[in-house]
Structure 1
Amino acid sequence: MYKTTITPRVSETDAVGHINNTSLPVWFEAGRNPLFELFTPDHDFAKWKMVIVKTTLEFTGQVYFGKDAEIHTWVERIGNSSLELYEELYQEGRLCAKNRAVYVNFNLSQQHSEPIPAPIRAELSKHLRETSENQEGF
């Protein structure tokens, strides 16, 4: 599992003092930075590999300004050219949101998917989510 700490900004709040629901997808994406580095270590967007094809976000609690949040990111499934991530957002120990994201290893210049290389597959395997952690069935 990868862990990323997010410090909420004032600009991410809504009119009632909560973190706006449009901020959470951006926070979850920040939790994927270690994965992006696996596929494109030099961060060169001309050689970018990770293309998102699906995301599903479920809000389970309110998130507030003034308190750090933590993103937990697991690899749930590794396919030939795709991977599915399962993510949770916690604030003060409370589960506030869950997300799934599917990415494809994509060659931008040739416009087609490519198999995930063995060294990257091996690293991703270290972060596989155990099925016993899937207690809520999301």
Structure 2
Amino acid sequence: MANQHVYELPMRWADLDSLNHVNNVVYLDYAAESRTILVEDGIVGADERVQRIAVDFLRPLLLSKRPVCVASTRDGDALVQEITSGDTETVFARVTTVFGPPVDVERGQATFEPFPLRLRRSDVDATGFASLTKAFEFFQEARIILFSSLRTDGSGASRFVVGHVDITFGEPIPWRREPYPVTSWISRIGDSSIHIEAEIAEEGRLYAHARSVLVGFDMTAQTSRKLEDHEKKLLSEFIPNN
């Protein structure tokens, strides 16, 4: 059985979103910081390349004085990190990192206008490229813009929560002044969720590809909900070749 390595990290006010929950992207920060410690401890090789990272957002994590705990288990090419709080056993998010060479990704057909992604200097780490954690932030921003562009009361971003995000990495993203195009499309509509795919790519060069599952959510009842018929009708118009 693979050994588990547990590290404690501090929670900060800046980690929270407008609902006083830990922002989805911050879970990636927790996992990335823990991976750095794993490198220092010789559990992850400093030269190992990350092929993909998948995150399951299981339940919201609120501000607490207790430290965030990241329990990491290495099994072959996969590193599974479960994020808890203090001495509780409740898992709030699960981050799976797969190490290995780049793989081919089935490309899709964008149905929304490309979102111009402009990098900031702070997006770039010591390697001279955008950090892996920032890729999640890029795709999150693109999703928010996507929903804002729909301009309909029934399909606003506030009526959905992110349940799962899976990003496959291609070439590193170097800093430049010109924006990168982020293209998006809806690949599936279920009874209570929608699947959105997006990619940062240009001229046949793929930097990153994301698959996200958004779950319908009732803010008043704080529970998942089924999609309404008018939502499904509207969203179905953005499925390629539909």
* TM norm. shorter chain > 0.5: yes
Equivalent residue for 1:135? none
Whole-Å separation in 1 of the counterparts to 2:127 and 2:223 = 44
Alignment of 1:5-84 (within 5 A): 5-33=116-144, 34-35=146-147, 38=152, 39-40=155-156, 48-66=158-176, 67-84=178-195
- Alpha-carbon distance in 2 for matches of 1:91, 1:65: 15
Provide the C-alpha distance between the structure 1 equivalents of 2:117 and 2:194, rounded to a whole number of angstroms. 24
Separation in structure 1 between the aligned mates of residue 206 and residue 143 of structure 2, nearest angstrom: 18
Aligned-CA RMSD value: 2.0
CA distance, structure 1, for counterparts of residue 202 and residue 160 of structure 2: 28
Larger Rg: 2
Instruction: Normalising by structure 2, report the TM-score.
Output: 0.48
Shift of 1:105: 0.8
Q: Which runs of 5+ in 1 are unaligned?
A: 132-138
For normalisation by structure 1, the TM-score amounts to: 0.80
Q: Which ranges of structure 2 fall in alignment gaps of 5 or more residues?
A: 1-110
Please give the secondary structure, in 2, of the residue aligned with 1:76: strand
Q: 1:91 deviation in Å?
A: 4.7
**What is the alpha-carbon distance in structure 1 between the residues aligned to residue 162 and residue 182 of structure 2?**
18
Q: Structure 1 residue 92: deviation in Å?
A: 5.6
Q: Distance in 2 between matches of 1:21 and 1:130?
A: 31
Change (3 A) 1:25 1:130: farther
- Alignment match, 2:198: 87
